[in-house]
Homo-oligomer: A and B are copies of this chain.
Amino acid sequence: MSLKKLTIFDTTLRDGEQGEGISFTVKDKLKITQLLDTLGVHYIEGGWPGSNPKAVDYFKGVQELSLTHAKVAAFGSTRRAGKTVETDLSIQALIHAETPVVVIFGKSWDFHVTHALKIELPENLALIADSVRYLKANNKEVFYDAEHFFDGFKHNPKYALETLSAAQSEGADILCLCDTNGGCLPSEIYDMVTAIKKAFPKTTIGIHTHNDAGMAVANSIAAVDAGATHIQGTLNGYGERCGNANLSTLIPTLVLKMGIDCIPKDKLVHLASVSHRLDEIANVTHNHFLPYVGKSAFAHKGGVHVSAILKHPETYEHVNPELVGNSQRVLISELSGLSNLIHKTKEMGIDIDPKNEKLKTALDEIKSKEHAGYQYEEAEASLELLLRRILFDQKSVFDLISYKVVNAQRDSETCEIESILKLKLGAHVAHIAADGNGPVSALDHALRKALLPHFPEIDSVRLVDYKVRVLNSKDGTNAKVKVLIECKDHEHIWGTIGVSENIIEASWLALADCYEYKLLVLDPSKK
């Protein structure tokens, strides 16, 4: 394949926010803009100033950012019927957004013109032409989004082409073809983009796809194969219904597999971390199974696979995970054998003879814990504590005698939460009371108070993540829950797990492991 050049247009902040459960504050949007700039995308679509007051604030705020690479774009529709470009508020909002780039969408599908806009077909051509002409006259780089282009082209190819001509003849810089309903297949997209490229050989053709048939990425690639050189998508695939084309999948495929010049290779190594940070900002659960950037994308579980990749990673890895900032992982599970466990002990720096019989005991214990709902894939600190207890009879630093948590709520205002913790620390017994915002924070505060006088090093420990997962949710409030806690100090990040029918007990188990791991594994010299 020849080395082509194409531009990446991210619409996470506009089309992405149409996804269920996605909502950004202006501050979020500015943070994401900076993140996307780090990655080296060419354009960032910030919002629709004509429809959303938040977008107006964003376009003000974004002028304070100094972006190194990306140009910011504002989105809107062609002028309304019955308005002129001067009296159409949406068009005027585009001008006031003061972005170098403006995207306007118009109708390509005759059915939408007559049934949604309820105007005659020629009038729609005038809306498009007038809007593009006016924005070009205002010195904007203008991208024309042909909404429902492919469905329109299937139904009435002549009219669909006329809508593109209306935009192109007024100087639109890009004609972007949209599969708005996301129902097309790659072979169709290839044929239609080929036809459009033939009709407009000198105009840059863009592609904007949705994932309703699971084809958003494949359709974008098919369009590139047919001559498109501008791709619109969202990082992590956020978007209306099933989402937009996922740029975190598309970009590495373009760069690493197709040799296309779009994102510099030295920026590509940020891809996984940018993808994860975006999920964090959006406050949605990271999809572990995402190509390239997902936590599971290079995670090997099958015994056959594990023994092979340890010798030759290319046997079961399609690309080197480091190129996209991800890494290889070996999973310990019920399906995995001793060889995975031995590999894991090596990863952890645990020095043990692979023939030691206690490894078998440890594997059995792991399997029985997993049967009870434990899962160590995200809680390797708890796994390591378990292994050290079994393999080396490692003793705990502290042992629980008892705890009590009292949560007293009076009407919806006043709430008092107290914990009382009794802990054995060697020869000493600590008996501590503390309060908190909730039962778990009250326990955490008591545990810290108990440990600090003896182990000042735990002062640097911070809980950075707390996750709760109901295991057998059909049992309602009697369900078993799994709590995952992530901690950090100045140098390390580690994860622990607790499982119980009682959420407080599950949280306690994970909390206790957090501090045990800090004291036994990270700072062992002091014990």
Binding site for B on A (CB under 8 A): 17-21, 23, 51-52, 111-112, 115-116, 180-183, 185-187, 211-215, 217-218, 221-222, 225, 237, 240-243, 246, 249-250, 253, 257-258, 280, 283, 285, 287-292, 294-303, 305, 308, 311-312, 315-319, 331, 333-335, 370, 375, 377, 400-412, 415, 417, 436-441, 443-444, 462-479, 481, 485, 500-505, 507-508, 511
Q: Compute how far the CA of A257 lies from the CA of B461 in the bound complex, rounded to whole angstroms.
A: 55
How many copies of the shown chain assemble into the complex?
2
B213–A318 touching, CB < 8 Å:
yes
A296–B215 touching, CB < 8 Å:
no
A444–B477 touching, CB < 8 Å:
yes
A218–B186 touching, CB < 8 Å:
yes
Query: Across the interface, which residues of B come within 8 angstroms of A437, CB to CB?
Result: 478, 501-502
B18–A301 touching, CB < 8 Å:
yes
A503–B404 touching, CB < 8 Å:
no
A sample of 25 cross-chain residue pairs with beta-carbon separation below 8 angstroms, ordered by A number, consists of A18-B302, A20-B289, A20-B331, A52-B335, A115-B312, A116-B315, A183-B319, A186-B221, A212-B318, A213-B291, A214-B291, A215-B218, A218-B218, A237-B289, A240-B300, A241-B296, A404-B406, A438-B500, A443-B477, A464-B473, A465-B470, A466-B470, A468-B469, A468-B481, A477-B507
Question: Given that A17-B335, A19-B289, A289-B211 are known contacts, is A180 also in contact with B402, CB under 8 Å in the complex?
Answer: no
Question: Given that A52-B335, A185-B253, A503-B438 are known contacts, is A466 also in contact with B477, CB under 8 Å in the complex?
Answer: yes
Query: Across the interface, which residues of B come within 8 angstroms of A412, CB to CB?
Result: 400
Query: Across the interface, which residues of B come within 8 angstroms of A181, CB to CB?
Result: 316-318
B415–A502 touching, CB < 8 Å:
yes
B221–A290 touching, CB < 8 Å:
no
Q: Compute how far the CA of A410 lies from the CA of B17 in the bound complex, rounded to whole angstroms.
A: 48
Q: Compute how far the CA of A280 lies from the CA of B111 in the bound complex, rounded to whole angstroms.
A: 41
Q: Compute how far the CA of A437 lies from the CA of B241 in the bound complex, rounded to whole angstroms.
A: 39
20 additional contacts (CB under 8 A) given A20-B296, A241-B298, A468-B470: A17-B335, A20-B301, A23-B334, A182-B318, A186-B222, A213-B292, A214-B218, A241-B296, A242-B291, A283-B471, A287-B287, A402-B409, A404-B409, A405-B407, A415-B502, A417-B502, A439-B503, A464-B474, A468-B481, A476-B485
B501–A308 touching, CB < 8 Å:
no
Q: How far is the CB of A54 from chain B (nearest CB, A)?
A: 8
A316–B464 touching, CB < 8 Å:
no
A116–B312 touching, CB < 8 Å:
yes
Query: Across the interface, which residues of B come within 8 angstroms of A222, CB to CB?
Result: 186-187
Query: Across the interface, which residues of B come within 8 angstroms of A52, CB to CB?
Result: 335
Query: Across the interface, which residues of B come within 8 angstroms of A21, CB to CB?
Result: 288, 296, 375, 377
Q: Which residue of B lies closest to A511 (CB)?
A: B477
